[in-house]
């Protein structure tokens, strides 16, 4: 089940966001299976309940931001191609269905939403399960 991150005006209005980031099943599964290779502890991402909504406030947003920065750095610095290839082979995926850029784009986009939340105290970051 995919999870969608959004930036809300208030907690009760899930329709208020015009900024969304998709945490798709492939990215989530890859990170879960390979979390030991990343510098930051990414459990906050990989342990999300795909059937529930999670609202993030101050310290949690900062932690997500740090996770994203760490992911971006690791994806840029480490050669994870063999892990990507193993993952694609395991799940029968083609390169256009899943590659390193998918994870990198997700991390950059989520980092951006975290920054917007940090600098705009009237916004709430939410992860919406399917």
Q: What does pLDDT average to in each consecutive run of 10 residues of the chain (130 residues)?
A: 84 69 96 96 95 92 97 96 96 94 97 94 87
pTM over 0.75: yes
Q: What is the DSSP string of 44-87?
A: HHHT--TTSEEEE-HHHHHHHHHHHHHHHHHHHHS--HHHHHHH
H or E segment to which residue 116 belongs: helix 100-119
d(CA 60, CA 62): 5
């Amino acid at each position: 089940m995919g999870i969608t991150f959004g930036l809300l005006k208030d907690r009760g209005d899930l329709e208020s966001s015009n900024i969304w980031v998709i945490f798709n099943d492939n990215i989530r599964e890859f990170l879960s299976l390979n979390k030991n290779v990343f510098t930051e502890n990414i459990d906050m991402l990989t342990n999300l309940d795909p059937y529930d909504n999670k609202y993030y406030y101050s310290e949690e947003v900062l932690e997500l931001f740090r996770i994203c920065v760490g992911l971006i750095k690791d994806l840029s610095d480490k050669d994870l191609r063999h892990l990507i290839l193993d993952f694609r082979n395991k799940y029968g995926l083609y390169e256009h269905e899943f590659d390193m850029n998918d994870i990198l784009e997700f991390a950059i986009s989520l980092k951006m939403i975290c920054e917007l939340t940090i600098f705009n105290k009237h916004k709430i970051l939410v992860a919406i399960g399917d």
